[in-house]
Amino acid sequence: MRSLLTVHDLSRYDRESVVERAVFLRDRLDGGHAIDNALGEFTVGNVFFEPSTRTQLSFDLAAQHLGARVLNLNVSSSSTSKGESLRDTVETVSAIGVDMLVARHSDRGSMRSIHEWTARPVINGGEGSYAHPTQALLDAVTLVRHFGTLDGLSVGIIGDLAHSRVASSLYRLLPDLGAKVFQIGPPEFLSDEIDADQVADLASVLGDLDVVYLLRVQRERGAEISDSYVESYQLNGDRFRSLRDDAVVMHPGPVNRGVEVTSEVLDNARCLVLDQVANGVPTRMAVMEWALSG
């Protein structure tokens, strides 16, 4: 039994085998084939201290496909503003009898704390602006399914990198799998953790990218949507047509249509947003299997 707090908890071998397993499971699900009940007689606790729609449903269905019972617990942050309360919630849910915790929380460091307070494996379902490892993994799965490999791909991540746990996890994961990652955005949206040689100018690199990975401007975390941002960075029809013919567009959702991307681009067949969603369930299944097999 082992936990996934960041993508660094996966060895290079683990990363590749989890991605490969998820690709296999996606095919099984699409084909309507039976799945091994790897979590049969297990109970998964979905403990979300931040609201979520797609991620919580995705973990819920992943656990059910593996034969597990699921307990969903949504806790408002207000009721756990004190560290003691978070700890008490984690210890209580563990004592009730869950065999694995999936957790989401707004604070950096919360997953490390949760991991200390329970003997059960913990899967990070989103941690502040810091980490969202299963999102990065499902994105890798999406790219492997589309291009066959990540080796040699150029990926440009555009937008509000400073507030994005998705971006944090992506630029920890993708380079290790062989991709080159560029960080693109206005200065106030760039992260301190980014290497200078990863920062790129949109106009300079756009024609060379294999993947344009758009981020949502996160108004709920204090970011502002300015006209100049939309003008300078929105992936509109003109910018889309300047991409390579085989380049694809990705976005972790939910999308602000008309802000970071236009509907015209979203509805293009080279936009993989819904394929990313569809890879969420098999990727989380592969992660849960990995957590149990350690």
Segment contacting a second copy by CB under 8 A, of 155-163, 216-224, 237-245, 270-278: 270-278
In the region spanning residues 47 to 86, those forming contacts with a second copy, defined by CB under 8 A, are 53-54, 57-58, 60-61, 64, 69, 71, 73, 75, 82, 84-85
- State the Cα–Cα distance between residues 198 and 175, nearest whole angstrom: 11
Structure tokens at 122: 């913990």
Q: Please, what is the minimum distance in Å from the beta carbon of residue 23 to a second copy?
A: 16
Q: Please, what is the minimum distance in Å from the beta carbon of residue 289 to a second copy?
A: 17
Q: Which CB sits closer to a second copy, 254 or 294?
A: 254
- Please say whether the beta carbons of 89 and 67 come within 8 A: no
1 interacts with a second copy by CB under 8 A = no
Among 24, 96, 116, 232, binds a second copy (CB under 8 A): 96
- Please say whether the beta carbons of 128 and 110 come within 8 A: yes
Q: Please, what is the minimum distance in Å from the beta carbon of residue 275 to a second copy?
A: 8
First CA to last CA distance, the chain: 5
> CB atoms < 10 A from the CB of 46, how many?
25
93 interacts with a second copy by CB under 8 A = yes
CA nearest 73: which of 91, 46, 96?
46
- State the Cα–Cα distance between residues 114 and 249, nearest whole angstrom: 35
In the region spanning residues 197 to 226, those forming contacts with a second copy, defined by CB under 8 A, are none
Q: Please, what is the minimum distance in Å from the beta carbon of residue 122 to a second copy?
A: 17
How many residues line the site for a second copy (CB under 8 A)?
40
Segment contacting a second copy by CB under 8 A, of 149-157, 191-199, 220-228, 256-264: 256-264
User: Nearest 5°: CA angle at 270, between 149 and 199?
Assistant: 65
**257 backbone dihedrals φ, ψ, rounded to 5°:** -60, 135
126 interacts with a second copy by CB under 8 A = no
- State the Cα–Cα distance between residues 87 and 110, nearest whole angstrom: 10
Q: Which CB sits closer to a second copy, 15 or 65?
A: 65
CA torsion through residues 164, 56, 102, 39, sign: negative
Q: Please, what is the minimum distance in Å from the beta carbon of residue 89 to a second copy?
A: 7
In the region spanning residues 12 to 41, those forming contacts with a second copy, defined by CB under 8 A, are 29, 32, 34, 41
H or E segment to which residue 233 belongs? helix 227-233
Q: Which CB sits closer to a second copy, 41 or 227?
A: 41
- Residues whose CB falls within 8 Å of the CB of residue 109, separated by 6 or more in sequence, listed in order: 130
- State the Cα–Cα distance between residues 108 and 210, nearest whole angstrom: 31
**By the criterion CB under 8 A, which residues form the site for a second copy?**
29, 32, 34, 41, 43, 53-54, 57-58, 60-61, 64, 69, 71, 73, 75, 82, 84-85, 88-89, 91-97, 253-255, 257-258, 263, 274-275, 277-278, 280-281
